[in-house]
């Protein structure tokens, strides 16, 4: 799990080292999301959306596996998380909420 975390965290840096930018990856991701919506594909993609009752979380945006179709977010898939994963998810949500409050955006 630590290796996956490090690879994910450092992916943008590796892309910048090799290509000089990451905006092509962002554009490709947006293109895939748009395609799923326009073609009503009911595709599972990892997208950020407002969470409602996910491990007790509400009113925070997280990137989670989500079914995307013509209406946008059709369903956020609930993953089975162990207690450590749940604790880290809740910690991340708290950090996001505090950051938003500090910016006066809530």
Domain boundaries, the chain: 2-103
Please tell me the predicted confidence (pLDDT) of residue 106.
58
Q: Quick one: tokens of 79?
A: 């993953």
The pTM score is 0.74
Architecture of the domain spanning 2-103: Alpha-Beta Complex (3.90)
Neighbours of 90 (CB within 10 A): 13
Task: Over range 6-28, report the average pLDDT.
Answer: 78
Whole-number Å distance between alpha carbons of 3 and 6:
5
Question: Residue 20 carries which DSSP code?
Answer: S
Report pLDDT digits (tens) over 42-99. 999 999 999 999 999 998 998 999 999 999 999 999 999 999 999 999 999 999 989 9
């Amino acid at each position: 799990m630590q290796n996956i975390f490090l690879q994910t965290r450092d992916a943008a840096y590796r892309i910048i080292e090799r290509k000089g930018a990451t905006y092509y990856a962002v554009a490709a991701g947006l293109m895939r999301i748009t395609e799923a919506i326009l073609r009503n594909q009911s595709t599972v993609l990892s997208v950020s959306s407002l969470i409602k009752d996910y491990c007790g979380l509400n009113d925070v945006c997280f990137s989670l596996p989500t079914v995307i179709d013509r209406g946008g977010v059709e369903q956020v898939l609930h993953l089975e998380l162990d207690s450590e994963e749940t604790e880290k998810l809740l910690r991340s949500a708290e950090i996001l909420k505090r950051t938003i409050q500090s910016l006066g955006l809530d």
